[in-house]
């Protein structure tokens, strides 16, 4: 019986030793994985830091190049070109807004009305038939085929 108890104790100790070794190997694998991830994070962080430094350097150099190109552009434009540009960009104050001259067809109160304007002033307001077809037949009006009637 002593041999059986001793044998069982030895088996339990062997199982505990193997479990401890397995835990140790798992911990080493986790540590190795964390080291690799930390190395990758440091490489990415270093790359981003270098890119940031390059962008800052580029930002400081860029305004100087813009001012040089502006100076070059201003030197190449002649005086006559400047006058043409200024004349073209000036808003013309001599032009008056053109007032409406012509005929307008409006549908109001189920009838079509012909309104004649001259210099923006209503000269004549004629009542026609209820539809465009009837107006053309009865009053011999020349209403455009695709006229859009304004409703009031």
What is the domain extent for residue 139?
A: 102-151
Looking at the structure, tell me whether residues 61 and 37 fall in a common domain.
yes
Is residue 97 in some structural domain? Answer: no
Buried b (16+ CB within 10 A) or exposed e, 112-127: bbbbeeeeeeeeeeee
Looking at the structure, tell me whether residues 11 and 63 fall in a common domain.
yes
List pLDDT tens digits, range 74-131: 666 655 566 666 655 555 444 455 677 888 888 888 888 888 888 878 888 888 878 7
Using a cut of 0.75, tell me whether the model's pTM lies above it. no
Is residue 106 in some structural domain? Answer: yes
Looking at the structure, tell me whether residues 80 and 10 fall in a common domain.
yes
């Amino acid at each position: 019986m002593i041999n059986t108890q001793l044998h069982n104790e030895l088996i339990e100790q062997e199982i505990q030793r193997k479990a401890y070794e397995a835990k140790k190997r798992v911990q080493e694998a986790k540590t190795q994985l964390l080291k690799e991830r930390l190395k990758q994070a440091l490489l990415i962080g270093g790359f981003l830091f270098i890119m940031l430094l390059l962008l800052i350097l580029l930002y400081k150099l860029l305004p100087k190049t813009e001012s040089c190109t502006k100076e070059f552009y201003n030197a190449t434009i002649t005086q006559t070109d400047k006058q043409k540009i200024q004349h073209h960009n000036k808003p013309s104050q001599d032009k008056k807004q053109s007032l409406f001259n012509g005929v307008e067809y409006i549908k109001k109160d189920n009838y079509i009305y012909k309104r004649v304007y001259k210099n923006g002033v209503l000269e004549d307001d004629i009542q026609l038939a209820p539809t465009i077809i009837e107006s053309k037949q009865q009053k011999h009006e020349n209403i455009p085929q695709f006229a859009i009637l304004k409703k009031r």
